[in-house]
C-alpha cells in the first residue's frame, strides 16, 4: 500500500465516525423534541409503567405479609406444638435436648403431681399441679406467640398458673398466693391458654419448675417451626424405657388439631 493510501484510510475512518456521531446526535435531539412536545407520549408511558411496577410490587409485598401472618397465627394457636404422652416413661433431659434441633423453638417435659394448689381464696377447688422442666415453662410462657420465650431465674421462683386458674383465685404474676393449709406461694407467671380448639389438658393447671434429670415424666411438649419431617421420631426418642407389652404405646398429638396438620 502506498503512503497516500495509508494517509487516506484513517481520514475516511474519522469521517465515518464523525458522521455516525452526527446521526446519533440527530436521533437523540429528535427523541428529546418528541418527549418535550408530547408527540411520543413518553411521560404518560412512564407513568403507566411506574404504576404497573408499583402495583405488582405492592401485591407481592401484601402476599408475603399475608403468608407471614398466617404462619404466626398457626404457631400461636398451638398447631405446631406436639405432645407425646407415656406416663412415667419420658426422659426429661432427652426432651429438653430437642430444643437444639433445627426448627424447634422450645421443648420440655411435664409430670403429674398428686397434690393440688389449694388457695385460701377458693378452698373448695384445688388447682391440678404439674411438675415442669424449664423448657416446658418456656413452651407455656410463649403459648400464644409465634416464637419462644426467654425466662430468667426469677421466672422459676414460684408457680405458673394458667390464665383461667389465675382468674379463679384473683392472682397475677408477682403476687403471693395465700394457701388454705397456711403459708403463701409466689406466682412467678401467668400463661395464656385460650379456648381456641387446643387441648383442654392445660387450661386449668399450676406448673412448678423441677430439674430435668429424671426419666419418670409423663409428657414431652415440642413447639417447632417449621415442623421437622421427623417430628414423630424425635418425640419417640424421649421415651426412657419401652415396656415388654407391645400394647402399651405412647400417644402423639397436636396441642391444637383444629388448624390442620399442615399450614
**pLDDT score, position 126:** 95
Please indicate whether residue 107 or residue 52 has the higher confidence score (pLDDT): 107
Residue 85: closest CA among 115, 113, 111: 111
The 10 Å CB-count burial string (b at 16+, else e) for 232-253 is: eebbbbbbbeeeeeeeeebebe
Average predicted confidence (pLDDT) for the chain: 88
Q: Do 15 and 123 lie in a common domain?
A: no
Q: Do 116 and 34 lie in a common domain?
A: no
Secondary structure element (H or E) that encloses residue 109, with its range: strand 104-117
For 73-104, give the DSSP string: HHHHTTTTEEEEEEEEEE-HHHHHHGGGSTTE
Q: 3-37 and 42-76 helices cross at what angle (nearest 10)?
A: 70
Question: Mean per-residue pLDDT for 70-77?
Answer: 94
- Asked whether 235 and 82 are in contact (CB, 8 A), the reply is yes
Maximum separation of any 2 CA atoms in the chain, in Å: 122
Q: pLDDT tier at 247 (50, 70, 90 boundaries)?
A: confident
Beta bridge partners of 85: 219, 251
Among the ranges given (65-69, 98-102, 210-214, 252-256), the one the predictor scored with the smallest mean pLDDT: 65-69
For 5-55, give the DSSP string: HHHHHHHHHHHHHHHHHHHHHHHHHHHHHHHHHTTT-HHHHHHHHHHHHHH
192: cell is 395464656
DSSP character at residue 180: T
Burial of 210 (C-beta count, 10 Å sphere; 0-12/13-18/19+): buried
- Strand segments, DSSP code E, in 118-255 are 127-132, 159-162, 176-178, 184-191, 206-209, 217-224, 251-254
Q: Do 87 and 116 lie in a common domain?
A: yes
Q: Which of 56, 73, 90 is the last residue of a domain?
A: 73
For 181-201, give the DSSP string: TSSEEEEEEEE---SSSS-GG
Is the pLDDT at 35 greater than 70? The verdict is no
- Tally the C-alpha atoms within 13 A of residue 43's C-alpha that lie toward its C-beta: 8
Q: Do 116 and 149 lie in a common domain?
A: yes
Among the ranges given (29-38, 131-140, 183-192, 229-238), the one the predictor scored with the smallest mean pLDDT: 29-38
- Asked whether 210 and 132 are in contact (CB, 8 A), the reply is yes
How wide is the angle at C-alpha 56 spanned by C-alphas 51 and 58, nearest 5°? 95
Domain that holds residue 24: 3-73
Question: Mean per-residue pLDDT for 44-49?
Answer: 75
Residue 262 covered by a domain: no
pLDDT digits (tens, 9 = 90+) for 145-184: 999 899 999 999 999 999 999 999 999 999 999 999 999 9
Q: Do 122 and 170 lie in a common domain?
A: yes
Q: Do 107 and 197 lie in a common domain?
A: yes
Is the pLDDT at 40 greater than 90? The verdict is no
pLDDT digits (tens, 9 = 90+) for 1-11: 455 555 545 55
Q: Do 146 and 53 lie in a common domain?
A: no
What global pTM score does this model have? 0.77
Q: How many domains does the chain have?
A: 2
Amino acid at each position: 500500500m502506498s503512503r497516500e493510501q495509508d494517509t487516506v484510510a484513517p481520514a475516511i475512518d474519522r469521517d465515518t465516525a464523525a458522521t455516525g456521531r452526527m446521526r446519533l446526535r440527530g436521533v437523540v435531539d429528535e427523541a428529546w423534541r418528541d418527549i418535550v412536545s408530547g408527540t411520543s407520549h413518553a411521560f404518560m408511558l412512564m407513568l403507566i409503567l411506574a404504576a404497573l411496577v408499583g402495583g405488582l410490587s405492592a401485591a407481592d409485598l401484601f402476599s408475603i405479609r399475608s403468608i407471614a401472618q398466617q404462619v404466626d397465627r398457626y404457631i400461636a394457636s398451638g398447631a405446631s406444638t406436639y405432645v407425646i404422652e407415656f406416663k412415667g416413661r419420658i426422659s426429661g433431659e432427652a426432651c429438653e435436648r430437642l430444643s437444639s434441633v433445627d426448627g424447634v423453638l422450645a421443648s420440655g417435659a411435664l409430670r403429674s403431681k398428686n397434690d393440688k394448689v389449694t388457695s385460701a381464696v377458693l378452698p373448695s377447688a384445688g388447682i391440678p399441679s404439674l411438675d415442669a422442666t424449664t423448657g416446658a415453662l418456656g413452651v407455656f410462657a410463649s403459648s400464644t406467640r409465634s416464637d419462644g420465650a426467654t425466662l430468667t431465674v426469677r421466672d422459676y421462683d414460684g408457680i405458673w398458673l394458667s390464665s383461667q386458674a389465675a382468674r379463679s383465685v384473683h392472682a397475677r404474676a408477682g403476687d403471693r398466693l395465700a394457701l388454705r393449709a397456711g403459708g403463701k406461694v409466689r406466682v412467678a407467671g401467668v400463661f395464656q391458654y385460650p379456648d381456641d380448639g387446643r387441648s383442654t389438658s392445660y387450661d386449668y393447671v399450676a406448673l412448678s419448675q423441677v430439674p430435668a434429670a429424671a426419666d419418670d415424666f409423663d409428657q414431652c411438649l415440642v413447639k417447632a417451626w417449621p415442623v421437622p419431617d421427623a417430628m414423630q421420631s424425635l418425640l419417640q426418642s424421649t421415651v426412657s424405657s419401652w415396656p415388654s407389652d407391645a400394647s402399651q404405646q405412647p400417644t402423639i398429638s397436636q396441642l391444637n388439631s383444629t388448624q390442620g396438620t399442615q399450614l
